[in-house]
Amino acid sequence: MKKVLVTGATGRTGLLVVNKLRQYPREFKVVGLARNEDKVKEIWASTDDFYFGNIKDKTTIEKAISGCDALVILTSAVPQIKGTPAPGARPEFYFADGESPEEIDYYGQKNQIDAAKSAGINHVVLVGSMGGTEETNPLNRVGNGKILIWKRKAEQYLIDSGINYTIIRAGGLLNEPGGKRELLVGKNDELLKNPPDGIRPSIPRADVAELVVRALQIDEAKNKAMDTISRPPSENGENVKIDFVKLFEQTTAGL
């Protein structure tokens, strides 16, 4: 049985990952790291197997990761809206003090990777976002935070750490059912710049969560980094059969 720490466990994708891992009680023992105890109680009604603290505090991470075999990183900076935009105007965003992408998506993830290496973690699965090769990507302009740039720096830090890694860079995240779409993988934002057949470069959160779980189960997922999007669901709404081994074999090591 693998003991897996999931950070960012109360986020919209994080809670899906925790729930999916708990569907395999003979394979995984899941522990979570979150900042808000009330939010954990609201979602799961219990704080069992949860640690609470900030990823900027190495001590908190070290306590949570002790005895674990794998780490799933789902933490991310979250922009805030500046007041109420005028009618017809675009909203402006900012990052709260201490919550910038540099602090959360780089140094916060760096803290987690360092703790994982010190604890002898065998495998780190890092969930990021496509667009890190495009400095002018709109997400980088949000709050002038350059969030995708900092995420990509953290990905390179993980690769250089020497720990087995799987990096999953998702397209636009959809709150839709998983298992209904063909998944596509690529590199260097090719799927973002030139999506096949002009499809929307997006993917359901549930499919990203499924990829995380499969990455922890499949050896072919180790030391791989990939972009991923999905095709539109079939008209009949049937589930799509996916060979996850072949999916991970399609991509390579390194950014």
How many structural domains are present in the chain? 1
pLDDT at 3: 97
pLDDT at 235 over 90: no
Average pLDDT over the chain reads 94
Give mean pLDDT, residues 161-180.
96
C-alpha 154/C-alpha 130 separation (Å) is: 13
Name every residue whose Cβ is closer than 8 Å to that of residue 66 and which is 6 or more positions away in sequence. Answer: 119
Question: Would residue 12 count as lying in a domain?
Answer: yes
pTM of the model: 0.94
- Give the domain CATH number at 198: 3.40.50.720
List all residues 6 or more positions away from 18 whose beta carbon is below 8 Å from its beta carbon.
6, 9, 30, 32
Asked if residue 199 belongs to a domain, the reply is yes
The confidence band for 236, taking pLDDT boundaries of 50, 70 and 90, is confident
Tens of pLDDT, residue by residue over 102-125, are 999 999 999 999 999 999 999 999
Q: Is 129 a catalytic residue?
A: yes
Distance between CA atoms of residues 7 and 81, nearest Å:
24
| Set 100, 129, 161, 202: catalytic member | 129
pLDDT at 86 over 80: no
Which residue range forms the structural domain that includes residue 131?
2-249
- The model's pLDDT over 127-170, given as tens digits with 9 standing for 90+, comes to 999 999 988 899 999 998 999 999 999 999 999 999 999 999 99
In this predicted structure, what is the pLDDT of residue 254?
A: 85
